Structure 1
């Protein structure tokens, strides 16, 4: 008796039906990673700018916080969700910390955004 070979017609369509959702999930995952990376870089830039405002000789923690919140409302709007800004300034150092969440592309994935910047407070001295 002769062996009977099965017909492979339609197997490519079945494979594509199974692989397409996985491919879409992979692409959306890459987009989610890009959104998180952009939000993190934006928060880091906002923290650095707020630090520059807080550490100047006539600056304050309140002015650094106002600067960070204003920049987050313009540059980070919709990108960094639920941001919290913490600015600490003493006689020697200033520190800005920003916490939040990245905008969600995947509904089940909440990625945190954390950024901080610190530096010495500017002091003006007289010569001699």
Structure 2
């Protein structure tokens, strides 16, 4: 009985630590995706900039805390047609020596104001 206990206890503890590590990684991934979405939303706004998207993503991560997601890198790009936000980092390590990467990305078209042409109704009007 004691031999089985000596073998089973460390294996059970390792399985529990791996479950907790997966949970921490999953939470860090959700944080990164939320930050990427927030950065994209800020960068897509008419007359916004990539810097404003970066600032919005950083503010969200700062307000949510950075204990779960570490070594964070934020990359927001914006041109005339498309905006994108990428967040990378690492999940906090529960299992010694296991450092899981976290990546999240979001992209979408930039908002534009299209002037109405005389004689042609807007979609909202008609």
TM-score by length of 1: 0.88
- Could you list the runs of 5+ residues in structure 2 that have no partner in the other structure? 118-126
1:120 aligned partner: 109
Structure 1 distance, partners of 2:111, 2:45, is 5
CA distance in 1, matches of 2:109, 2:65: 26
Is residue 63 from structure 1 mapped to residue 52 from structure 2 by the alignment?
Answer: yes
Q: Given that residues 42 and 76 in structure 1 are in contact (C-alpha distance below 8 angstroms), is that contact kept between their aligned partners in structure 2?
A: no
The alignment's TM-score, normalised by the length of structure 2, stands at 0.89
What is the aligned residue count?
117
How many Å separate the matches in 2 of 1:115 and 1:64? 15
The question of 1:15 aligning with 2:4 is answered yes
Considering only aligned residues, what root-mean-square deviation do their CA atoms show, in Å? 0.9
The equivalent residue for 1:54 is: 43
Inter-partner Cα distance in structure 2 for 1:37 and 1:103: 11
In 2, are the aligned partners of 1:43 and 1:76 still within 8 Å (CA)?
Answer: no
1:34 corresponds to? 23
5 Å-filtered alignment, 1:98-117, equals 98-117=87-106
Distance in 2 (alpha carbons) for counterparts of 1:15 and 1:81: 38
2:96 maps to 1:96 = no
Q: Which runs of 4+ in 1 moved over 4 A?
A: none
Following superposition, the deviation at residue 76 of structure 1 comes to: 4.3
Q: Look at both structures and tell me which one has the larger radius of gyration over its CA atoms.
A: 1
